[in-house]
Chain A
């Protein structure tokens, strides 16, 4: 059972570079989301989606883009990396009936360092 798969596990970028963090789930979940986890700040929602073709902003969306062309995939794009985007990024998914009535499943994270 693959669950939620994130790639890569580690990434180092230089300031100004762009990249895409990949997230795929095989549970046919409608809801997918991206969080970043920083020491002392906890988990903060970047973007989320409740189905293919539907995305919305979370708490800290600036500097990030997402798209949802399929149910399975929800990539996160960093447009021009900044040191402030150094963090651990988690993708999560769940069934969706209009609210968080199902457990949220997380990937193992991508540790990103921007120099």
Chain B
């Protein structure tokens, strides 16, 4: 069974800092990995999807990487802004079945 872990559970940084959010998964047979953002009281918004054959994806100030051999994905946020404050979740699919398994998220606070 795929298990997804996100550490730390919460992170607070000053505005302008570059930061990395971590996501670990137990089954290296992961098919793809998605990163989501969740604002308070809202649903999840997909940020980046890395397919099995890819190693990274970029969108604006965001870059996500996937290392299947080590069971890790990272989300890099450049020049963080207060508007980046939200909970960031990763989710992996594949392994023993094709169901999406979510981590519990990292609550990011960017202080002005």
Interface residues of A (CB under 8 A from B): 4, 35, 40-43, 45, 48, 58-59, 90, 92, 98-109
B51 at the A/B interface (Cβ < 8 Å)?
yes
Q: Which of B31, B34, B46, B104 contacts A42 (CB 8 A)?
A: B104
Which DSSP category, helix, strand, loop or mixed, fits chain A's interface?
loop
Interface range on chain B: under 10, 10 to 19, 20 to 34, or 35 or more?
Answer: 20 to 34
Interface residues of B (CB under 8 A from A): 31-32, 34, 36, 41-46, 49, 51, 89, 91, 93-94, 98-100, 102-105
Query: Could you say which residues of chain B place their CB within 8 Å of the CB of A101?
Result: 32, 49, 51
Establish whether residues A103 and B94, one from each chain, have CB atoms under 8 Å apart when the complex forms. Answer: no
Establish whether residues B49 and A103, one from each chain, have CB atoms under 8 Å apart when the complex forms. Answer: yes
Q: Which of A99, A103, A108 contacts B98 (CB 8 A)?
A: A99
Establish whether residues B42 and A45, one from each chain, have CB atoms under 8 Å apart when the complex forms. Answer: no
Q: Which of A40, A41, A100 contacts B31 (CB 8 A)?
A: A100
